Structure 1
Amino acid sequence: MENHVTKQAAGDTANVSTPTSPKVSATLRRYTGPLSRFLEKQAEAKSQAVAEAAKADTLRAMRNNVLSLVEDTALFTDTERLRTNDSVYQTTCVAQLQRWFRNVYRVSQERTARALRLGTSDLAGELAYNSRLADLLDESGLTHSELLSL
């Protein structure tokens, strides 16, 4: 059976019937309210689609931010990177990703500072050792090789 929409021109009593697509006719059968409400629902659906696309973009950006922090192999182990990758892609909560970003950033900063402190303290220790060794060699009159052979 072919669906038809009846049109009536102003002042014309003759009905003009045009065939409609099954999709349009299915929509017309389902919706029986006023046209303005139908248009409002369409606008709401469009804005909801835009909001979902914006949320997907935000999720993608937050995931990339968190994962970019754990790329440094000197600061994070392979296990930590894999666990982070798995957790980041399993969540759909932007607030959770923001908390993870803050926490991972804090951990990376702490590990960087610790590495710098250790590097600095190692360097300071080496300089102090070399200074004491030079003082000992000066006081004893021995060479470094003679000192090592003792």
Structure 2
Amino acid sequence: MLRKGAGAGRSVGILSIPFALSQGGWLNLCLLIMVSVLCCYTGLLLQRCMASNPSVKTYPDIGELAFGQTGRALECVFLYLELYLVAVGFLILEGDKLEKLFLKAAFNLHGLRINGKQGFILISVLVIWPTTWLRSMGALAYVSASGCLASLILV
């Protein structure tokens, strides 16, 4: 049984979009469309920047082209910081949602008591971590396809 306020509207991903739109109304939908247009325009600008100079292949290259070595260093810092924070945010959300599914879950690990959210975060890390060692993008494609299949089954 789910706790009060822990319904499908608070889930992460594809199931949360209709709930967000129902809460935000038409203004929210207009903002979503506006952000989509801005992202598309930004992509076109990036494409134009990369086409203007054949040596530009990555975001740090664009930072260097615009602001020199300082821009390259800053872009590298922000790029890796973003990747790290997205991963941490995903793990926190994963632990939170699994804790809501399995109430009162706790683990004992060598005499150390781990509560539900922290335990589920550790389990998620242990499941996801081996996929970071894959050398082949083809092997990673199977992992991605299984995630897409799980989403389709869920929907």
TM-score by length of 2: 0.29
Specify the structure having the higher radius of gyration (Cα): 1
